[in-house]
Every structure is written in C-alpha cells, then in structure tokens.
Chains A and B, each alone.
Chain A
Amino acid sequence: NAGVTQTPKFRVLKTGQSMTLLCAQDMNHEYMYWYRQDPGMGLRLIHYSVGEGTTAKGEVPDGYNVSRLKKQNFLLGLESAAPSQTSVYFCASSYGPSPASDTQYFGPGTRLTVL
C-alpha cells in the first residue's frame, strides 16, 4: 500500500495564479483532511471531508476550496494565490470517527511558495 500520497511535492506560484493539490489514499478511509503547517503555529485544519461528496470548513478555510468526488481523492484548490498562502500543506486520512480507529495517516507534504 502506498498510504497517503500528495502531488506535487514542491511548487512555486506567482500572486494571483491558481493551482490544485491532489491527495490520494489507498486505505479505503472515509475521512480526509487538509492542513497547513507554518513555523511557530503548528498544523491548522483548512478543510475536511467525512465521506465521498462531502466537505466542511476547518479553522482556516478562507482562500481555499476542496472537492471529494471520489472516496480515495481529496483536492485542495487555490483560486488566486497570495503570499500568505506560502506554507507546507499536509493531507491526512483516517478510517472513521470512533476513538479507537481515529489514527490519522499523513502524506509527505507539499511545499508551496507564493511570490
């Protein structure tokens, strides 16, 4: 199993450009998450999904959109990139909400720089 994979690994954008980050998991997990990690601020939840076709806002959703058209994929879109969106983006997935099975599995991250 590949686990959680993220595409691309690195990207540099100019202000105003758009892009989509792809997250894929092969563990048949229902729940998927997008986080951003910034120095001194830990990981913050952007959006999450509790199943195919569903999405919900996390702590810092502004400037991002997501889609979960297939159970195994969770896409994060930036419509008009801003320098404040320079960050490392992590995708994660988990089997479900029960305490015993809620272990989150993380992808390797995407390092995004917006100039």
Chain B
Amino acid sequence: KQEVTQIPAALSVPEGENLVLNCSFTDSAIYNLQWFRQDPGKGLTSLLLIQSSQREQTSGRLNASLDKSSGRSTLYIAASQPGDSATYLCAASGTYKYIFGTGTRLKVLA
C-alpha cells in the first residue's frame, strides 16, 4: 500500500530564502507525482506534475525533482516571498488514484 510522507510538517523562513520541501513515498511504481498548493479555506491548486519517466519539472521559481528509485521528490522554491505562504502537498499517482501526503505548512516572514 502506497504511503506518502512530507517532512517537515511546518516551516518558517525569512523572505528571500531558498527552501526545499520533501516528499517520500513507499511504492516506486508510481504513474506520476504532483505538487499542490493549498491556501487556508481553499481548494488545491496544481503547481507541478512530474511524469514517472521524468526527473524534474520547473515553473518560474519552482523546481520539482523526482527520484523513483529512492522514493523521493523535492520541491525547491527560490527567493521565497510572503505570498508563497501556504500548505504544500505532494501526491503520488497509481492507476486512477492519488495518495496524498499530509502537507508542509510554509510561512514566509516579511
């Protein structure tokens, strides 16, 4: 059974800092891995999707990597801003289904 873990559960950083969020999964037979952002009281917004055959994806200040053999993905945020404050969730996809981690709550201090 797939299990997805995100560490740390919460993180506070000063504005401008580069940071890395971690996601680990137990079953390497994933279809793809997706990173989401969730603002308080809101739904989830997709940030990046990495196919199982890919190693990384980039969008603006965000870079996500995938290492299936070690069961790990990281989300790198460059030059963090207060507007980046949110909860970040990763989800590993099997056939038809996503298994979500519990998220990392990020606070970027101005």
Contact = CB atoms under 8 A, between A and B. Distances in A.
A104 B96 contact: no
A67 B34 CA distance: 27
A40 B101 CA distance: 10
Contacts of B45: 106
B51 interface: yes
B28 to A, nearest CB: 15
A79 interface: no
A19 interface: no
A74 interface: no
Contacts, number: 63
Contacts of B81: none
Most buried by B among A41, A99, A103, A106: A99
Given A99-B53, A102-B31, A45 B97 contact: yes
B100 A43 contact: yes
B60 interface: no
Interface residues of A, number: 27
Contacts of B4: 42
Nearest to A39: B102
A56 B89 CA distance: 24
B97 A103 contact: no
B61 interface: no
Interface in B15-51: 31-32, 34, 36, 41-46, 49, 51
B46 A100 contact: no
A48 interface: yes
A33 B98 CA distance: 10
Nearest to A56: B96
A105 interface: yes
Contacts of B34: 102-104
B104 to A, nearest CB: 11
A86 to B, nearest CB: 16
12 contacts: A40-B102, A45-B97, A45-B99, A92-B44, A97-B95, A99-B52, A103-B34, A104-B98, A105-B46, A106-B43, A107-B43, A109-B42
